[in-house]
A and B are shown apart, each in its own frame.
Chain A
Amino acid sequence: MASIHLKNLGHRYPAAGAESDNPYALNPLNQVWEDGGAYALLGPSGCGKTTLLNIISGLLRPSEGRVLFDGEDVTDLSTERRNIAQVFQFPVVYDTLTVAENLAFPLRNRGIDNTTIQTRVADTLAMLGLEARANERARSLNADDKQKISLGRGLVRTDVRAILFDEPLTVIDPHLKWQLRTELKKIHERYGHTMIYVTHDQTEALTFADKVVVMNAGSILQVGTPKELFDRPRHTFVGTFIGSPGMNVLSCTFDGTAAIVDGVRIVLNEATLAAAQAQGLASTSATLEVGIRPESLRVIVADASTVDDTHCVNVEVLGVEDLGRHSLVRLRLGEQLLCALHPEGAAIPEAAALRLDPACTLLYADALLVEANDVPLLP
């Protein structure tokens, strides 16, 4: 296993005319992937995540910067010589070989001895629950089982420096997805491979990874644990992309003591307030927004006590969608729309107020989280 260091790495695809360069598909970045880490690369189509993965795997040579594995420069090495395993979205399986032979293939290719091959193949079959089908031809398997073999081929080698997954579960049925995802997680806990997993599905990314790398428009916006991305998204894009539904983002102003959303005061926590004051946001030209997760909002009955409570604001209930486990309550605060999650079976009051938790109320300036930073303030 290896740590992976991306040094001043950027990529532009070659332009047809050669006169001018294409814009960056991947903006220049520095990033270290620690040895044995489970990482997910999460972002919408076209955000650059597959470009980044292909650069790490060696399928694509970056137009600038270097790729280092454990300090060794592998930028000019082919995929084979980088010694990595890859799993793709669609199964890569030899139909005429048996399941066991398919799994043994990457090992035979590397000249591994038969005893080791047999042990590794048996382990991998057990891991994926394919023992009973070991001697069947791959041709006879359904799509889900074929994708299991693909995963198995990625996992069968223990000597790889990293395992890269490109949307491996996208075409898998929901129930099997649960099974394979937890298997991957267990395999990582057991063997400690460096794993990089590309997906557009936040559940897959958050459940699989120790650290999630959120990308948009060719840039890494945040690298963090699932909890960090959920609790303190550093960019409004991260807040809205992660979470289902995503974070509510409401445009606001700052009067020096609180955020004001359409005339309604939203109390900020001490740290956010101090940072906003320190950054002079009361007289800024930056676009200010508050970010509040639907999970942190409580819809309660509006009455005399909520009027006096600075942590409560009156809202209009526009609609309620019963999603089974909880209800999604669509609300209007001032002129802006937001939503809250409400527990299963609990009634929604007609005259509603929202209880806000200042600890969960975030402030954004030009889409970036307002927080205490290390930049020394001018005296």
Chain B
Amino acid sequence: MLRLNNITRHVDSNNSLQDISLELKRGELNILLGPTLSGKTSLMRVMAGLDQPDSGELTFDGETVIGVPVQKRELAMVYQQFINYPSLSVYENIASPLRVAGLAKSEIEARVAQAAQLLKLEPYLTRKPANLSGGQQQRVALARALVKRASLVLLDEPLANLDYKLREELRAELPVLFAELGAVLVYATTEPSEALVLGGKTACLNRGRVEQFGPTLDLYRDPDTLMAARLFSDPPLNSLALNHDDSGGLRFAGAEQALPAAVASELLSAVNPAEAASNLTLAVRGHHLRLGFDPLPSGESTASKPLIEIRGIVDVTEITGSESFVHFSFMGQPWVALLDGIHALAGGAEIVLYARPQDCFLFNTLTGKRVRKLSGGG
């Protein structure tokens, strides 16, 4: 297990790691999710021992690794830019870490053959990397990381430079490939959809801090903070302040009317009583906004439950062929709805959408923290 305790490191004026504590277990895929400059690469460099933290502890299987030279660590890294030795064949590229380690020839052959088979590189073993496509070159870099059988594998946006479709393919393969190593596997990405496909656990990073760490789907479905929910939303998360008004109702910031009492009480029923009086921010993902609600396939009717009505003015609509992203303005905020099917809504048109209260997240506007009832709180 790789354990980080209160790791802090100042990198430069817009990049630092602040008080990061994580426990990353062997055999698990750990995703670092966050935008550029959120600290993903800085954190990986500390994990790798390439950079020393200003303070904090870093242990692997209980032993401190701060100050242990990189060469003495069982470590494999793959970067966004494929790095291969241009003068060596694909075979020799994959074998290179094993030759450095002084392994027996037969062992090298066996490991390279296995990695080449897993990464579908067998037809290319005699070629030079320059004669391969980008996807194949990155497979070579991945194979080299795989054969080392390192106990810590760091993958820094390894698929970012690859074609969309190739990415889909490798994404599905990667967790399986590395799972059997029993290594601590860390994978950095900027894309929520990539994290969801990969599964495992995710740490949401924002400005050098871990917003939340846990099983990937739990983070997606049950974010603790508004920032974690934002980081884990694509298309971007919709949000708006939802304030208490004088007559005891809930009202969207800028709205003339309070929400219907039934909607407000449904929303508040999920709020921790200690937070009931806080100013709230409501957030909802684009695909949870609908033009209407039909009964679910399970047969459960949702029509009788109160729905939140969202009236907006269409800004622009993007159509993918099977879905429509309707960008609209709601109380002056840019919102986006992801609707199934083709909805060619022109700019300036009025749109009425509905959200179910149970699909919305409520946050304390001041702290940015979720105000949900804790489990067992009824």
CA distance A175 to B36 in the complex (A): 11
A65 contacts B by Cβ under 8 Å:
no
Count of A interface residues, CB-CB < 8 Å? 48
Q: Which chain B residues in 314-372 approach chain A with CB under 8 Å? A: 315-316, 318-322, 325, 327, 336, 338, 342, 347
CA distance A45 to B220 in the complex (A): 32
Q: Which chain A residues in 156-189 approach chain B with CB under 8 Å? A: 173-175, 178, 181-182, 185-186, 189
A174 touching B234, Cβ below 8 Å: yes
B35 contacts A by Cβ under 8 Å:
yes
The residue of chain B having its C-beta at the shortest distance from the C-beta of A199 within the complex is B164
A321 touching B197, Cβ below 8 Å: yes
Closest 9 CB pairs of A and B: A230-B321, A207-B318, A226-B321, A206-B320, A200-B163, A173-B35, A346-B297, A324-B196, A44-B163
- Residues from chain B with a CB closer than 8 A to the CB of A227 are 319, 321, 342
Which B residues form the contact surface with A (CB < 8 A)? 14, 35-37, 133-135, 163-166, 168, 190-193, 196-197, 199, 217, 220-221, 234-236, 285, 287, 296-298, 315-316, 318-322, 325, 327, 336, 338, 342, 347
A81 contacts B by Cβ under 8 Å:
no
A364 contacts B by Cβ under 8 Å:
no
B296 touching A295, Cβ below 8 Å: no
One of B134, B164, B234, B338 near A201 (C-beta < 8 A): B164
CA distance A207 to B336 in the complex (A): 14
Instruction: For residue A244, give the distance in angstroms from its CB to the closest CB of chain B.
Output: 7
Instruction: For residue A204, give the distance in angstroms from its CB to the closest CB of chain B.
Output: 9
- Residues from chain A with a CB closer than 8 A to the CB of B347 are 186, 189
Q: A174-B191, A186-B316, A347-B298 are in contact. Are A229 and B321 (CB under 8 A)?
A: yes
- Residues from chain B with a CB closer than 8 A to the CB of A208 are 318
Q: A174-B192, A324-B220, A343-B296 are in contact. Are A231 and B165 (CB under 8 A)?
A: no
CA distance A45 to B37 in the complex (A): 28
- Residues from chain A with a CB closer than 8 A to the CB of B133 are 45-46
A-B contact pairs, 6 of them (CB 8 A): A144-B36, A174-B234, A189-B316, A203-B320, A243-B322, A244-B168
A202 contacts B by Cβ under 8 Å:
yes
Instruction: For residue A9, give the distance in angstroms from its CB to the closest CB of chain B.
Output: 24
Instruction: For residue A40, give the distance in angstroms from its CB to the closest CB of chain B.
Output: 12
- Residues from chain A with a CB closer than 8 A to the CB of B199 are 321
B37 touching A142, Cβ below 8 Å: yes
B196 touching A323, Cβ below 8 Å: yes
CA distance A260 to B215 in the complex (A): 42
Instruction: For residue B355, give the distance in angstroms from its CB to the closest CB of chain A.
Output: 14
Instruction: For residue A376, give the distance in angstroms from its CB to the closest CB of chain B.
Output: 32
Instruction: Render A241-260 as a binary contact track against B, CB cut-off 8 A, 1 for contact.
Output: 11111100000000000000
Instruction: For residue A19, give the distance in angstroms from its CB to the closest CB of chain B.
Output: 21
CA distance A155 to B318 in the complex (A): 20
Instruction: For residue B158, give the distance in angstroms from its CB to the closest CB of chain A.
Output: 15
A322 contacts B by Cβ under 8 Å:
yes
- Residues from chain A with a CB closer than 8 A to the CB of B327 are 182
Extra contacts besides A45-B135, A229-B321 (17): CB < 8 Å: A45-B133, A142-B36, A143-B36, A144-B36, A174-B234, A175-B35, A178-B234, A182-B318, A185-B318, A186-B347, A202-B164, A207-B319, A226-B320, A245-B168, A295-B322, A321-B197, A325-B287
One of A173, A174, A182 near B315 (C-beta < 8 A): A182
The residue of chain B having its C-beta at the shortest distance from the C-beta of A188 within the complex is B316
- Residues from chain A with a CB closer than 8 A to the CB of B342 are 227
- Residues from chain B with a CB closer than 8 A to the CB of A322 are 196, 217
A175 touching B236, Cβ below 8 Å: yes
One of A226, A245, A345 near B319 (C-beta < 8 A): A226
- Residues from chain B with a CB closer than 8 A to the CB of A185 are 316, 318
The residue of chain B having its C-beta at the shortest distance from the C-beta of A229 within the complex is B321
Instruction: For residue B351, give the distance in angstroms from its CB to the closest CB of chain A.
Output: 15
B320 touching A345, Cβ below 8 Å: no
B134 touching A45, Cβ below 8 Å: yes
Instruction: For residue B51, give the distance in angstroms from its CB to the closest CB of chain A.
Output: 21
A174 touching B190, Cβ below 8 Å: yes
Q: Which of A182, A225, A240, A241 has the most chain B CB atoms inside 10 A of its CB?
A: A182
A173 touching B36, Cβ below 8 Å: yes
B197 touching A323, Cβ below 8 Å: yes
